[in-house]
Amino acid sequence: MISKKIDQAINDQIKLEEQSSRIYMAMASWCGVNGFPGAAKFLYTHSDEERMHMLKFVHFLNDRNGHSVLQQVEQPKAEYRSIKELFDEVLKHEQLVSSRINELVDLCLQEKDHTTNNFLQWFVTEQIEEESLVQDIVDKIKLLGESMGGYFHIDMYLSGLADAEAAAEE
């Protein structure tokens, strides 16, 4: 049986994962209509992953006699000044998600909920990978510079990353 506090905190996390999925889908859409097909592919894949994260929380909470209740999520931003601004925001968002996962772990320790803490460890590891992947993209954008040639190479790189991730999941 899960405590009321943890039930509420997981529901908040479900909202954040759903929000993440929608933010990345909106970003993918912007990339698609602004000449970045590789970045769009990468972000659509990430949008799907966030939905998968959301579902993991939904099933876990319901399986533990809690109740996953979907909440209203805000409309994601539709416009970006550049691909650099967009990926800087992805990185900030992933850092926010990591800090929320850490807060959830803290709460589990306070509440002595070792089962939920154990479940959360998958997300702790996942966030290390997500942050490092996005940091790498941000670094590459800086390195290649904000030029047409640089953007072209970034887009090819992101397309390759999306293909590699899809192949790894097959």
Interface ranges with ligand OFO (CB under 6 A): 17, 20, 50, 53, 94, 97, 126, 130
User: What token pair was written down for 141?
Assistant: 């954008």
Q: Give the nearer residue to ligand OFO in terms of CB position, either 126 or 163.
A: 126
- Closest CB to ligand OFO among 137 and 151? 137
Cβ of residue 154: shortest distance to ligand OFO, in angstroms? 20
Token pair recorded at residue 170: 């097959």
- Identify which of residues 94 and 113 has a Cβ nearer to ligand OFO in the complex: 94
Question: Based on CB atoms, which residue is closest to ligand OFO, 99 or 145?
Answer: 99
As measured in angstroms, the least distance from the Cβ of 149 to ligand OFO is 30
Residue 150 is which amino acid?
Answer: G
Residue 85 main-chain phi, psi, to 5 deg? -60, -45
72: alpha, beta or left? (left if phi > 0; alpha if psi -120 to 50): beta
Torsion angles phi and psi, residue 76, rounded to 5: -75, 155
Task: Quote the least distance from Cβ 76 to ligand OFO, whole Å.
Answer: 13
Q: Hey, what are 74's tokens?
A: 């805000």
Min CB(53)–ligand OFO separation in Å: 4
Any residues with CB less than 8 A from the CB of 132 and at least 6 apart, and which? none
Contact assessment for residue 107 and residue 3, using Cβ atoms and an 8 Å cutoff: no
Shortest distance, CB of residue 82 to ligand OFO, whole angstroms? 22
Q: Is 151 or 161 the residue whose CB approaches ligand OFO more closely?
A: 161
